[in-house]
Amino acid sequence: MDTLIDYLKNSDNVVVYIDGKESPINSSDFQQQLDVLCDKAYFSPSLAIAKNNEVYTNIRHGIWLEFRYNTPQEYADMDFDKLLVQIKPSMYGFNIIRGKGEDYEGRCYYLNLNNDTTKFYKFLKSMS
């Protein structure tokens, strides 16, 4: 895969967490919404560092997407087997937290969307 967006679009499965409740996403509408959201997006360096205990505390609130992979992946010399993103309305970019096994630790990616997340947020919220 060539871009960070390719990894999001080609995960083996996706789970949405809404206020801590986990639900699998099996909707073709999701892929269409993700395509629109990421249409003009690009990777940027991130200064964020994930700390496992903070991630598991924060995932209990709001809307989060977890992109899961059956085999280890690598992008920008950083490995992962899952990627986690918090979605809030009116965001124009977000940190992507890398996960390995049960842990979310270390440097993050940043995706500059050149787009607003409000419509995508409302779509995800309607899944609850």
Q: What pLDDT score does 26 carry?
A: 81
- Cα 59 to Cα 74, 90, 117, distances in angstroms: 23, 19, 18
Looking at residue 36, its pLDDT comes to 94
Q: What domains are defined for the chain?
A: 4-125 (2.60.40)
In this model, does residue 112 exceed pLDDT 90? yes
Per-residue pLDDT of 15-32, as tens digits, reads: 999 999 999 998 889 999
Say what the pTM is: 0.93
| pLDDT in the model for residue 88 | 95
pLDDT band at 44 (very low <50, low <70, confident <90, very high): confident
Distance, CA of 124 to CA of 115 (rounded, Å):
16
